[in-house]
Homo-oligomer: A and B are copies of this chain.
Amino acid sequence: MNPLTKGSKQPPPIKGHKIRLYSNRFCPYSQRIILVLDAKKIQYEVVNINIANKPDWLYEKVPEGKIPALEVENEEILTDDLIIVDYLEERYHQHPLYPKDPLQKAKDRILIEQFNKVVNAMYRLTINIGRMNMNDDDVIAQGLSVFERELADRGTPYFGGSKLGMLDLMIWPWCERADNLKVFGYQHLLRRDRYKKLMEWRNHMTEDTVVKKSLLHSDYHIKYLQSYRAGMPDYDLILNSN
């Protein structure tokens, strides 16, 4: 189904114990939630929204029409991706994603926050190119080095240990989109010899059944980015390409 736009009909209320994610296919924050829902094997439905042209009913449903938003029991709405994933972890006990030890959990949450530096620099370099910082190269290099060292220190294939955990999932959407940097002239930022562990990790991740479920090929991310930069973000891209 096409992502819903202005003028589209509001979907009927959810039934039973199902939950619904108001999402966008190309939004990395939406993907964070989808990854957690899939990893915890929670039943859910997705309503994709065209965020360049949001339906009117969305503003009634969700404060400020924010995407992503999760609809749960009694039509309650939750916003803010990191609060939503924490909610899912606490509400659904199966397949826990955070470390059990509160200290290790806190340290992983600090790393998730720290990854924002990489996210923001990537955003400036590939999307909001008018706002580039002189040192965005360094920000990305230093940011990724922290995670490279962390994987080496942990000595496990995933940040979560022998299988993926919350930290893996929270940084994944931007790692899936890393080739965006290459296309726009920043291939030197992703040197294989500098990030050996991270490159191995990326291979493990792309082969994981949970990650595969929402994985989009680099080509789509790049095409979307090009349409966005041209001022006409194409949210129907995946449908049109099939």
Contacts and interface: CB of A to CB of B under 8 A. Distances in A.
Contact of A106 (B73, B86, B103, B106): B86
B90 A76 contact: no
Nearest to A90: B102
B86 A103 contact: no
Given A83-B113, A113-B83, A78 B107 contact: yes
Contacts of A105: 87, 90
A103 B77 CA distance: 10
A5 interface: no
Interface in A59-94: 72-73, 76, 78-80, 83-84, 86-87, 90-91
A86 B73 contact: no
A184 B221 CA distance: 49
A145 to B, nearest CB: 13
A110 interface: yes
A109 interface: yes
Contacts of A113: 80, 83
A188 to B, nearest CB: 26
A73 B102 CA distance: 12
Contact of A110 (B83, B109, B110): B83
Contacts of A80: 109-110, 113
A83 B103 contact: no
A87 B101 CA distance: 10
B84 A91 contact: no
A108 to B, nearest CB: 10
A106 B78 CA distance: 7
A109 B109 CA distance: 15
A10 to B, nearest CB: 22
Contact of A91 (B73, B79, B103, B110): B103
Closest 5 pairs (CB-CB, A-B) = A87-B106, A90-B102, A91-B102, A83-B109, A78-B106
12 contacts: A76-B103, A76-B107, A78-B106, A78-B107, A80-B110, A83-B109, A83-B113, A84-B106, A86-B106, A86-B109, A87-B105, A87-B106
